[in-house]
Amino acid sequence: MSRLLRFNFRKLSRQKSFYLCLGITLGMLVLTGVMYKMIFDSTEAIDMGALMSLPSFNSVTFGLMGMDNSSFIMVMGVAVALMVCDDYEQHTVKIIFARGYSRLQFYFSKLVTAFVAITVAFAVVEPAAFGIGAVFFGFGDADMAKTFALIAIQYVAVLANAAFIFMLSCIFRRTGLSIAAALVAPTVITLVLQLADAAIRSESIRLSSFWISSCFATLSDLNVETYKMLLCLGLCAVYTAVFVMIGALISKKTEV
């Protein structure tokens, strides 16, 4: 297992697409900052009423919205898909299996590598979001404990999303298909759940609020109720476990 990990980390450290994806995420974050700043400034000059409906921006609010605003989820989904599919597409997985490494050893070594990559990206993007927020809108003050709790739960949601894309990539094993799935699947799932919501018309239960994407929106708001935070934490932890398990079951049977 340690050999496989070293092998995968060497690959990751040389995977240009990972750095590119990270760069794109940071770029999107800056653009979003600039855009909000412009809207903010022009609205202030023209219409005070409209300003009221905009959230008050500072480093904390912008930082918490970082995951939602930076396309982090989508772009890192692409990075994960590329990471998983590469060895299948180049057939190098044959060499790994033929030398006696098991499917599960390979699967978990890749999963750990992907989670580490995502963690590194999160550790870069999240502080960057706070920094950009501070530059454009000033520091502001907030409940630090709650802010950190929200960030921690966002991290779990990020892992859940990574596990989801990882599982899809293990199913498709083709870069093109997996990237398409990484881009489309979250939207499609949200859409389907919203349709289901419209169909059942329940006041108390909104299915679409249980999906990962909705958790990001929930976790971006500093005023969110604690039980909602905990619900997101529980959901994302369960999602992560389930996707990792399904991925492992699928990988166990792969023939190459």
Partner 1 sequence: MDNIIETKNLTKRYGTNIAVNGVSLHVKKGGIYGLIGKNGAGKTTLMKLLLGLAQPQQGEIILFGSSDLNKQRIKIGSLIEEPALYKGDTALENLKRFSLLVPASDDELKSLLELVGLADVGNKKVGRYSLGMRQRLAIAVALLGNPELLILDEPINGLDPTGIKEVRDLILELNKKGITFLISSHLLDELGKIATDFGMMADGVIVEEISAKELRDKCRAFFKVTTDDSEKALGVLKAWDPGISAETSGNEVHITSEINDSSEIAAALVNGGVRVYEMRNESIDFEDFFIERLGS
Which amino acid is residue 256, in one-letter code?
V
- Residue 181 neighbours by CB under 8 Å, 6+ apart: 81, 165, 168, 169, 172
Please provide the DSSP assignment of 16-56 as one string.
HHHHHHHHHHHHHHHHHHHHHHHHHHHHHHH-HHHHHHSPP
For residues 106 and 4, the answer to whether their CB atoms sit within 8 Å is yes
Distance between CA atoms of 6 and 18, rounded to whole angstroms? 17
Smallest distance, partner 1 to C-beta of residue 100, A: 3
Q: Which of 4, 79, 80, 158 touches partner 1 by CB under 8 A?
A: 4
In the set 45, 48, 53, 99, which binds partner 1 (CB under 8 A)? 99
Give the CA dihedral 75, 78, 82, 84, nearest 10 degrees: 110
* Smallest separation, CB 47 to partner 1 (Å): 52
| Of the residues 45, 49, 52, 100, which one makes contact with partner 1 according to CB under 8 A | 100
Instruction: Rule CB under 8 A: say whether 10 interacts with partner 1.
Output: yes
- Check binding of 228 to partner 1 (CB under 8 A): no
Q: Which of 48, 98, 144, 205 binds partner 1 (CB under 8 A)?
A: 98
Q: Does 11 bind partner 1 (CB under 8 A)?
A: yes
List the one residue from 20, 189, 231, 256 that touches partner 1 (CB under 8 A). 256
Residues that bind partner 1 (CB under 8 A): 3-4, 6-7, 10-11, 14, 86, 90-102, 253, 255-256
